[in-house]
């Protein structure tokens, strides 16, 4: 135990930089657009786009998928920006395979989430649009086919997540819709009826515009034929009415074994759909204490992330909000409700940031999930706030307290962009989590974690009776006197998809003494000790089926 | 308001003095008319603008009050009364950004005023300027250590920043100073919740709800947190239900206001297209959403007048006047309505008030002249037309009326 503490202290005392920007060097050279950068005339120009870290070709390396929107005035024919898929070549570089893979689509893309919808072992993608969303089935040969349900319609889709809400072994889909947006009838800042923010003319919305309705799609695919049915109404998703829904994250917040859905909502109370185990949901965010701010105010919720930050075995929640407000850190009370711990935990320091993607990332592998947030304003020209803002890395001190270590973390963290999407994952399999960020009208940022501190083990879970992506499975590790837990999750952060694999920092410990997997539906599988320093594949009912040592 | 602390230019003093007298007699309608006359006589008479603002504010007409205060500030930008009252009105409307420059001037004009510093601090706090807010709250407390708003405000600011050890004594002192002010108990209860001291939080919040916080949703939100912390699920649910009910009420009201504004916009479109009936229909719907809006009532009166629905028009005009009695336009319109209904006595009375409120409007005197002619009061009619012509020398109709009255 003494050794563990000493090593943990060593990690905390390490000097930076911890993260180094490697995006361009790695080959992520394209620019991802969302409206004009000097003047936002419409709210549709403000959300930016999402990113994903997924292993689409099952070579054990995380690939990058990045969504682009466009510009309202458009681009000359043939030069329209498209979504990009970058294949990880294994030497910390990527190659663009978008066209070959069939995903180089233009349009007003927004978010992305992933999951194996047909349980064929290859990760599929869902891309939300202002327009018609697109569902891609991964054929397993490096290409994708468009299997978008015909009834998907044209909306303004934002965050999305796959989950198996009814435990039938097939991944269903939840999609947030932001605004029922009508470009022609929305006032412009330079028009006769502009909107104002702090006495300056700005684009209008979301308040005053018609909110969207969240959708739930039930997977009814049979024999390889992809079919999703809209069950939003009968499942109770429509019941709370229209909302300005943004990010979607799934979590079993009351640990009843059934996945619940949290939607961060802009300018209204956020929502949690509690799974009633019968194919329906009940909205309970107010009762659960995760709808509003600590003082009962509606906030402009943007991004969300879930992890057990205090090590009690229950999932906690972090949410980013608009400028002049604090983020929320909701600590799980273990009784179906949460208490706001934002200020007490040290996240009450800044109100000048407008937060988007948020992720729990144990960057120093000490076993305590840290928090990373990306920021950026929605109004480029205003005098009262910075459009490009730095990122924030909060280190979890292990006693419910966080401290801002961004300056030590390096220039890559302190870099100012108007960032939106964020995905967390270890793209070079060195046992340290890295960060992928989408920046509005700029290249992606790829923050390579270089901090040589602590040990870790990474679990890749594969379902068989349950969904193949193992979304909803919970791994619990015993490390000394501590218990670490994590859930495989689709969606989350801000319109983005992080690595499905669960990476656990072990501090100075050489192994996790015991590993327990709870598969969706509740089946428990106990795995023995797992040494640090490797990616371990655990298949449902088959135990450990593969091990791969970390790269040096 | 200190109405008697200033001097008035001699030539305008009569109207102003009359206004003061009516004000002290609590005849605010007549007082307004007199103060308006004083302002007509001397537009730089700051005190009259302030008096008008005071009366409007008393009657709950914040918009008119603010307009009068801003006029006063144009004349005297450092007028402390106007700065204070205008900033308060902005703060009441949640327009912190507009209150900010006024309060910054007020603080320099009255550097030893704890309330100016505390108000400025509150605006800084609302705008996320924590450092500025703390500095101003502390300055207010230096000037007056027992100043409740500064104690409560600084306590709340520090509690929200997690500085509980410093915050709690301030909030406790605030509740001791003003034990019957619900805000102090609410803020103390909220801070105690944050610290997990739920039994005391619950006591403070119950007290807050009994002392005037019963219609404040946030009191019940905090109370729910306290009950939750105490493990009282039933009580927590009840508090959350009350919170939801009050929040819904607030939202419904805001939604009605928004709808009213949208309907007015639609009405404007119909009006421009000459579709008076459709415009009136939209305005009537807007009025249902926002019944206390005098401007809206005036617009409805005007539309119905144009459509020759005089009885309806009269009703709307009278309602507008009851809300905003010193607006000459409303009296003028009512005069025109009565004239068209052939109710000449009432028409004359309304037009005379309009003329008194706004003695520089030619059309008012012309209309008055027409009524007087119809009543057979030739000499008075000539005088009215004569004034109309002098005020609007290019108006042919007024001159024709004057000639006709002189040579019947």
Name all domains of chain B by residue range, CATH numbers in brackets: 7-76 (1.25.40.10)
Contact A346 B225 (CB under 8 A): no
Asked if the C-beta of A334 comes within 8 angstroms of chain B's C-beta atoms, the answer is no
Q: Do B240 and A287 touch (CB under 8 A)?
A: yes
Computed over its alpha carbons, how large is the radius of gyration of chain A? 21
Model confidence band, residue B5 (pLDDT cutoffs 50, 70, 90): very low
Range with lowest mean pLDDT among A105-109, A123-127, A541-545, B269-273: B269-273
> What ipTM goes with this model?
0.85
Instruction: Tell me the torsion sign for CA atoms B119, B120, B121, B123.
Output: positive
Place of tokens 């995903």: A103
Q: Give CA A11 to chain center in angstroms.
A: 26
Q: What is the DSSP string of B99-139?
A: HHHHHHHHHHHSTT-HHHHHHHHHHHHHTT-HHHHHHHHHH
Instruction: Tell me the CB-side half-sphere exposure of residue A367, using CA atoms within 13 A.
Output: 29
pLDDT, averaged across chain B: 89
How would residue B160 be classed by pLDDT, with cut points 50, 70 and 90? Answer: confident
Q: What pLDDT is attached to residue A5?
A: 36
Chain B residues with CB-CB distance to A197 below 8 A = none
Q: Kindly state the greatest CA–CA separation across chain B.
A: 92
Instruction: Give the pLDDT confidence of B169-195 residue by residue, as tens digits.
Output: 999 999 999 999 999 999 999 999 988
CA distance A386 to A549: 43
Of B128, B218, B237, the CB nearest to A296: B218
Lowest average pLDDT, out of A70-74, A140-144, A176-180, B271-275, goes to: B271-275
**SS3 label, residue B194:** helix
The residues, ordered by sequence, that sit 6+ positions from B382 with a Cβ below 8 Å of its Cβ are B369, B402, B405, B406
In chain A, what residues touch B134 (CB-CB under 8 Å)?
A: none
Task: Give the mean model confidence (pLDDT) for residues B265-288.
Answer: 83
Confidence grade of residue A11 (pLDDT, cut at 50, 70, 90): very low
Please give the pLDDT value at position B56.
Answer: 84
Contact A286 B162 (CB under 8 A): no
Higher-scoring residue by pLDDT: A158, B408: A158
CB contact under 8 A, A344 and B194: yes
A12: confidence class by pLDDT, cuts 50, 70, 90: very low
B348 vs B23, residue with greater confidence:
B348
Of A296, A333, A348, Cβ closest to residue B162: A348
Q: B246: nearest CA in chain A?
A: A296
Which A residues, 128 through 167, put their C-beta within 8 Å of a C-beta on chain B? none
* A324 shares contact with chain B (CB less than 8 Å): yes
**pLDDT value at position A15?**
65
**Confidence category of residue A135, pLDDT binned at 50, 70, 90:** very high
Of A208, A286, A324, the CB nearest to B127: A324
- Is residue A224 less than 8 Å (CB to CB) from chain B? no
Q: What is the mean pLDDT of residues A269-277?
A: 98
Among chain B residues, the shortest Cα distance to A268 is held by B251
Q: Which of A205, A227, A207 is nearest to A217 (CA)?
A: A227
**Is pLDDT above 50 for A384?**
yes
Q: What pLDDT sits at residue A305?
A: 98
> pLDDT tier at B59 (50, 70, 90 boundaries)?
confident
Helix, coil or strand: residue A28: coil
- Compare all CA atoms of chain B with the CA of A352 and give the residue at the minimum distance: B128
Identify the pLDDT of residue A4: 38
Query: Tell me: the pLDDT tens digits for A187-229?
Result: 999 888 888 888 789 999 999 899 999 999 999 999 889 999 9
For residue B4, is pLDDT > 80?
Answer: no
Worst-scoring range by mean pLDDT, A3-7, B289-293, B320-324? A3-7
Best of B93, B132, B225 to substitute, by most chain A Cβ atoms within 10 angstroms, is B225
Tell me if chain B has a CB within 8 Å of the CB of A185.
no
- Binning pLDDT at 50, 70 and 90, where does residue B7 land? low
Per-residue pLDDT, B8:
56
Closest approach of chain B CAs to the CA of A102, in angstroms? 46
Strand order in the sheet with A63-66: A51-54, A63-66, A84-88, A94-96
- How far does the CA of residue B239 sit from the closest CA of chain A (Å)? 10
Per-residue tokens: A172: 């269903």
Nearest residue in B to A290, CA atom: B225
What number is the average pLDDT over the span B106-130? 92
Predicted pLDDT at A549? 98
User: What is the C-alpha separation between A205 and A297, in angstroms, rounded?
Assistant: 18
Residues in chain B: 408
CB contact under 8 A, B160 and A199: no
pLDDT in tens, A63-77: 999 999 999 999 999
Asked if residues A58 and A504 have their Cβ atoms less than 8 Å apart, the reply is: no
From the list A54, A224, A206, A214, the residue with the least C-alpha distance to A145 is: A224
Residue B285 has pLDDT above 90, yes or no: no
Beta bridge partners of A460: A537
Contact B97 A199 (CB under 8 A): yes
Query: Taking the model in full, what pTM does it have?
Result: 0.83
Write a three-state SS string for B316-362: HHHHHHHHCCCCHHHHHHHHHHHHHCCCHHHHHHHHHHHHHHCCCCH
- Cα separation of A524 and B206, whole Å? 47
Per CB-CB distance under 8 Å, the chain B contacts of A286 are 240, 243-244
**Is residue B326 exposed (0-12), middle (13-18) or buried (19+ Cβ within 10 Å)?**
buried
| Number of other residues whose CB lies within 10 A of the CB of residue A227 | 14
B146 Cβ contact list (under 8 Å, min separation 6): B173, B177
Average pLDDT over residues A12-36: 88
Angle (deg, nearest 10), helices B80-92 and B62-75: 150
Question: Are the C-beta atoms of B385 and B405 separated by less than 8 Å?
Answer: yes
CB contact under 8 A, A346 and B162: yes
- For residue A27, name the pLDDT band (cuts at 50, 70, 90): very high
Whether A348 sits inside 8 A of B160 (CB atoms) is: yes
Nearest to B128 among A296, A344, A351 (CB): A351
Q: Read off the DSSP letter of residue A491.
A: B
Per-residue model confidence (pLDDT) at position B2: 36
* A228-236 contacts, C-beta under 8 A, 24 or more apart: A228/A135, A228/A149, A228/A172, A228/A173, A229/A149, A229/A151, A230/A149, A230/A151, A231/A279, A234/A279, A234/A280, A235/A165, A235/A279, A235/A280, A235/A281, A236/A273, A236/A276, A236/A280, A236/A281, A236/A282, A236/A283
- Which residues are registered as beta bridge partners of A274? A282
Query: Predicted confidence band at A332 (pLDDT cuts at 50, 70, 90)?
Result: very high
Please report the pLDDT score of residue B262 as a whole number.
82
Tell me how far apart the alpha carbons of residues A385 and A377 are, in angstroms, rounded to a whole number. Answer: 7
Residue B64's pLDDT is 83
Taking the CB of residue A479, how many other CB atoms lie within 10 A of it? 24
pLDDT at A14: 55
| Residues of chain B neighbouring A352 (CB-CB closer than 8 A) | 128
- Scanning B114-232, the segments in alpha helix (DSSP H) are 114-126, 130-143, 148-160, 164-177, 182-194, 198-210, 217-229
A451-455, A514-518, B157-161, range with greatest mean pLDDT: A514-518
Assign 3-class secondary structure to A307-355.
ECCCCCCCCEEEECCCCCCCCEEEEECCCCCEEECCCCCCCCCCCCCCE
Q: Which of B122 and B267 is assigned the larger pLDDT? A: B122
- Region A518-527: mean pLDDT is 96
* Chain B residues touching A337 at Cβ < 8 A: 228
Least confident segment among A279-293, B16-30, B342-356: B16-30
pLDDT-derived band at B228 (thresholds 50, 70, 90) equals: very high
Q: Which of A6-15, A269-278, A336-345, B286-295 has the lowest mean pLDDT?
A: A6-15
Q: Which residue of B has its CA nearest to A208?
A: B258
For B204-222, what is each residue's pLDDT tens digit? 999 999 999 999 999 999 9
Q: Which residue of A has its CA nearest to B228?
A: A337
């Amino acid at each position: 135990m003494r050794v563990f503490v000493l090593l943990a202290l060593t990690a905390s005392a390490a000097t930076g930089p911890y993260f180094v920007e490697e995006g361009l060097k790695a080959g992520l050279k394209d620019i991802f657009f969302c409206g004009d950068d000097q003047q936002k005339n419409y709210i549709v120009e403000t959300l930016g786009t999402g990113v994903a870290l997924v292993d689409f070709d099952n070579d054990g390396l995380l690939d990058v998928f990045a969504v682009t929107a466009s510009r309202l005035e458009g681009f000359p024919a043939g030069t329209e920006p498209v979504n990009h898929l970058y294949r990880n070549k294994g030497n910390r570089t990527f190659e663009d395979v978008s066209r070959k893979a069939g995903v180089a689509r233009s349009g007003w893309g927004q978010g992305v989430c992933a999951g194996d919808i047909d349980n064929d072992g290859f990760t599929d993608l869902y891309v939300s649009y202002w327009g018609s969303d697109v569902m891609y089935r991964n054929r397993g040969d490096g290409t994708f086919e468009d299997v978008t349900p015909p009834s998907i319609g044209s909306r303004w889709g934002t965050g999305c997540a796959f989950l198996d809400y009814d435990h039938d072994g097939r991944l269903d889909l939840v999609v947030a819709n932001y605004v029922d947006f009508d470009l022609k009838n929305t006032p412009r800042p330079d028009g006769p009826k502009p909107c104002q923010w702090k006495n300056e003319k700005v684009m209008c919305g979301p308040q005053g515009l018609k909110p969207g309705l969240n959708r739930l799609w039930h997977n009814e695919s049979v024999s390889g034929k992809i079919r999703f049915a809209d069950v939003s109404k009968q499942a109770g998703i429509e019941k709370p009415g229209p909302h300005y829904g943004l990010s979607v994250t799934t979590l079993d917040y009351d640990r009843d074994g059934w996945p619940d859905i949290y939607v961060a909502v802009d300018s209204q109370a956020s929502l949690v759909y509690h799974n009633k185990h019968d194919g329906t949901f009940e909205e309970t965010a107010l009762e659960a204490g995760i709808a509003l701010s600590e003082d009962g105010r509606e906030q402009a919720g943007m991004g969300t992330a879930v992890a057990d930050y205090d090590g009690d075995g229950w999932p906690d929640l972090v949410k980013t909000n608009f400028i002049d407000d604090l983020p929320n850190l909701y600590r799980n009370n273990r009784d179906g409700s949460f208490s706001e711990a934002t200020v007490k935990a040290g996240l009450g320091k800044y109100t000048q940031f407008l937060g988007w993607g948020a992720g729990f990332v144990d960057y120093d592998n000490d076993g305590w999930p840290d928090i990373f947030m990306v920021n950026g304003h929605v109004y480029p020209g205003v005098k009262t706030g910075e459009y490009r803002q730095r990122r924030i890395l909060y280190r979890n001190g292990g006693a419910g307290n966080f401290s801002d270590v961004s300056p030590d973390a390096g220039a890559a963290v302190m870099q100012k962009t108007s960032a939106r999407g964020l995905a967390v994952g270890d793209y070079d399999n060195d046992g340290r989590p890295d960060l992928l960020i989408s920046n509005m009208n700029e290249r992606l940022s790829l923050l390579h974690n270089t901090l040589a501190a602590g040990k870790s083990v990474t679990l890749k879970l594969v379902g068989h009776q349950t969904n193949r992506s193992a979304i909803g499975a919970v791994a619990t590790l015993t490390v000394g006197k501590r218990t670490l837990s994590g859930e495989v999750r689709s969606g989350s952060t801000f319109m983005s998809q992080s690595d499905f694999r669960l990476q656990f920092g072990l501090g100075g410990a050489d192994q996790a003494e015991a590993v327990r997997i709870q598969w969706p539906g509740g089946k428990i599988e106990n795995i023995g000790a797992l040494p640090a320093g490797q990616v371990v594949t655990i298949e449902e009912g088959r135990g450990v089926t593969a091990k791969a040592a970390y790269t040096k | 308001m200190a109405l008697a602390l200033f001097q008035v230019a001699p030539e305008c003093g009569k109207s102003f003095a009359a206004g003061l007298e009516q004000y002290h007699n609590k005849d605010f309608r007549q007082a307004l008319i007199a103060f308006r006359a004083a302002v007509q006589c001397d537009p730089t008479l700051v005190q009259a603008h302030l008096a008008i603002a005071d009366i409007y504010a008393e009657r709950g007409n914040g918009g008119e009050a603010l307009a009068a205060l801003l006029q006063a500030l144009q004349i005297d930008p450092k007028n402390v009364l106007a700065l204070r009252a205008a900033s308060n009105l902005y703060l009441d409307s949640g327009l912190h950004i507009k209150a900010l420059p006024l309060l910054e001037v007020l603080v320099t004009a009255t550097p030893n005023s704890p309330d100016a510093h505390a108000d400025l601090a509150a605006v800084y706090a609302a705008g996320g300027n924590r450092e500025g807010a703390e500095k101003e709250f502390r300055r207010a407390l230096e000037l007056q250590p027992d100043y409740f708003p500064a104690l409560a405000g600084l306590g709340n600011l520090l509690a929200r920043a997690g500085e509980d050890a410093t915050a709690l004594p301030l909030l406790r002192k605030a509740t001791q100073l003003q034990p019957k002010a619900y805000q102090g108990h609410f803020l103390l209860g909220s801070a105690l919740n944050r610290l997990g001291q739920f039994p005391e939080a619950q006591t403070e919040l119950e007290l807050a709800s009994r002392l005037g916080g019963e219609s404040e949703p946030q009191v019940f939100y905090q109370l729910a947190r306290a009950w939750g912390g105490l493990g009282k699920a039933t009580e927590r649910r009840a508090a959350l239900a009350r919170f939801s009910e009050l929040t819904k009420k607030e939202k419904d009201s805001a939604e009605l206001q928004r709808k009213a504004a949208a309907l007015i916009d639609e009405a404007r479109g119909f009006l421009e297209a000459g579709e008076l009936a459709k415009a009136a229909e939209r305005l009537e719907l807007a009025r249902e959403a926002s019944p206390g809006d005098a401007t809206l009532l005036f617009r409805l009166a005007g539309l119905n007048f144009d459509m020759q629905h005089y009885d309806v028009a009269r009703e709307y005009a009278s309602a507008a006047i009851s809300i905003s009695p010193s607006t000459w336009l409303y009296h003028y319109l009512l005069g025109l309505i009565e004239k068209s209904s052939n109710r000449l006595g009432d028409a004359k009375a309304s037009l005379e008030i309009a003329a008194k409120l706004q003695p520089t409007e030619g059309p008012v005197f012309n209309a008055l002249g027409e009524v007087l002619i119809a009543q057979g009061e030739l000499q008075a009619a000539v005088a009215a037309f004569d004034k109309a012509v002098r005020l609007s020398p290019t108006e042919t109709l007024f001159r024709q009326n004057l000639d006709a009255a002189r040579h019947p």
